[in-house]
Amino acid sequence: MHPIVKTVFQRLGLGVVTLFIVSLIIFAAIELLPGDFGQAVLGQAATEETVAAFRRELGLDQPAVWRYVDWIAGVAQGDLGTSFSGRASSGVDRSRPVIDLIAPRLENTLFLAGLTAVVAVPLALFLGISAALYRNSIYDRTVNALTLTTISFPEFFVAYVLILCLTSLWPIFPSLSNISADTEFAERVYRSAMPALTLTLVIVAHMMRMTRAAIINLLASPYIQMARLTGASQREVILKHALPNAWAPIATVIAFNLAYLVVGVVVVEVVFVYPGVGQLMVDAVSSRDIPVVQGCALIFAATYIVLNLVADIVGIVTNPKLLHPK
């Protein structure tokens, strides 16, 4: 078997094992939450008999091990369970499957992440390459200072500063990103501009600095010096010689930040009331909707693991030692 294929299969197997361990952690963490879930859903006015019947209906009276086995078996079949919301209604079960609640929210979160990536990735690559070309110049120091400044602040602070500047002092964008499935694409982009801009300012610094460091490290390599001696222009040296060999570390940090765009949007979605998975998870935690919390957390974990596996695979494929084994 080719070393690349073997290594890729090893990474995929490791990803499955990691996801299984994460599912155990998610289930155990929710089990350790204080309070009675049945009482939290039904309210303080519910009698003990009603709470006991409700717990039996949901299977909460079963041992934790069996509940985990039932949950993970359903997940393996694409069933994330049924939401607790609506079960407390008067005699009528209005609960919905968790997958039906998460699917439209996940689409919104992926749209926000994609919109941010379209802006942030090219901007970070441009800033990183140009800063490496003009190393230690005023331009390089200015870019580093600005990116470090934005990354030093938490997301909610950056979000509120943008709201103050771009919605209060200069009303350019709306402060609330209330979109729906019927919202047209142009209007969706306009309403998502503020959370996308917040995420862009937060993640650009990581990708820019990694790109800059990788390019600077390669510019000192002997083959780069040889390319310059053969008369190659600075653009050819960067694009044809340095950048292809720098893709592994750059792809890793890009995939890491793309994973953050999906996993770390919770605070940004809450600030801008953006209808994504993060907002859904916060609402589910407040209402003690266990299946929805578990489903959101598992999707976040799976997204993070998959994107990191993609980064590993890209790094493996671009490794000359594995591409041309002796």
pLDDT score, position 91: 47
Domain range summary for the chain, segments of one domain joined by +: 106-319
CB 290 within 8 A of CB 193: no
pTM across the whole model:
0.80
pLDDT score, position 92: 47
User: Which sign does the torsion angle of CA 53, 54, 59, 61 carry?
Assistant: negative
CB proximity list for 149: less than 8 A, separation 6 or greater: none
Closest CA to 173 of 157, 151, 195, 150: 195
- The yes/no answer on whether domain 106-319 falls in CATH 1.10.3720.10 is yes
Spacing of C-alpha 49 from chain mean position? 42
Phi, psi of 104 (to 5 degrees): -65, -35
Closest CA to 253 of 125, 114, 116: 125
pLDDT tens for the chain, 326 residues long, are 666 677 778 878 888 888 889 889 888 888 777 766 666 666 666 677 777 777 777 777 788 888 888 888 888 888 888 887 755 544 445 568 888 888 888 889 889 988 998 999 899 888 988 888 888 889 989 988 888 888 888 888 888 999 999 888 888 888 888 888 888 889 899 999 999 999 998 888 888 888 888 888 877 778 777 877 787 777 777 777 777 777 777 777 777 787 777 777 888 888 898 988 888 888 888 777 888 888 888 888 888 888 878 777 776 776 655 555 55
Q: How many CA atoms lie within 13 A of 297 on its CB side?
A: 20
